[in-house]
Amino acid sequence: MKNFITKPFWILLIIIFLIWERGAAGLNSLILPSIGETYQALKEIAVSGILVESFLITFRRTVIAYGMAVIAGIILALLLHRFSLLQRTFRPLITIIQSTPPVVWVSLAVVWFGVADDLTPIFLIFIVSMPVIFVNIYQGLEEMNTDLIEMARAYSTPRFRILKEIYLPSLLPALVSALSVAFAFAWKSSVFAEFIASSSGIGYQLSRANSMLATDRLFAWTIILILFMLFVEYYLLEKLKEHVSRWKND
């Protein structure tokens, strides 16, 4: 978290809080709840157990779909890199999937799966984050230093060791970057799909707060979403990034 919590950021955060509090004082809490009201709402959803329950539901869906997207993205990248016929056939399709707005996928998912609890969010997360993983890994493979592979072959290195000790470490930076970008996509898609077409999870709670004009709850859930995203991005993934690039000259 050390790269994230810097002194200027704290100052900015304090300024934002001051503006928020100042703005809330002159406005109806339906439009802008105060920090105190938001905290109260946060406390309520935490005490009632909805917070943990909804968080776990969204988290579970994200992890399942994200995991599937990571595996599929890597396998596809390896296959398309290895076989040029597959590359020529499927590469444009992945670009099409990637450039289709998520709202189209949600609409289609509702038509195909109905307002299903798990299927719609899982489908959306998968379809949105898989191309991100694919593109990063594919690019990593394309930019692979073939000189090192040639050196390893010249010294009669077995194929398995080339994969493990050259391909994998070469791809790790691209993989970590892909994991990072794709997780942000996955988390947002999950909430979006739940908002539109689910009856559980954080997205659904946001949708409920919205329809009940409970702006304080809307703010409370948003803070939860942001905090979790920051924890993943600046703590978990940052640690992973540091580990994989320890041999790099920064």
Q: Which residues contact another protein by CB under 8 A? A: 147-148, 150-158, 161, 165-166, 169, 247-249
At closest approach, how far in Å is the CB of 182 from another protein? 23
Amino acid identity for residue 38 in this structure = T
At closest approach, how far in Å is the CB of 175 from another protein? 13
**C-beta closer to another protein: residue 110 or 149:** 149
At closest approach, how far in Å is the CB of 172 from another protein? 8
SS (H, E, C) the chain: CCCCCCHHHHHHHHHHHHHHHHHHHCCCCCCCCCHHHHHHHHHHHHHHCHHHHHHHHHHHHHHHHHHHHHHHHHHHHHHHHHCHHHHHHHHHHHHHHHHCCHHHHHHHHHHHHCCCCCHHHHHHHHHHHHHHHHHHHHHHHHCCCHHHHHHHHHCCCCHHHHHHHHHHHHHHHHHHHHHHHHHHHHHHHHHHHHHHHCCCCHHHHHHHHHHCCCHHHHHHHHHHHHHHHHHHHHHHHHHHHHHHCCCCCC
Residue that is written with structure tokens 């702006």 in the block: 215
At closest approach, how far in Å is the CB of 233 from another protein? 24
**C-beta closer to another protein: residue 72 or 144:** 144
**C-beta closer to another protein: residue 25 or 247:** 247
**C-beta closer to another protein: residue 8 or 155:** 155
At closest approach, how far in Å is the CB of 156 from another protein? 5
**C-beta closer to another protein: residue 22 or 164:** 164
At closest approach, how far in Å is the CB of 166 from another protein? 7
**C-beta closer to another protein: residue 88 or 164:** 164
Which two three-digit tokens encode residue 205? 């709670």
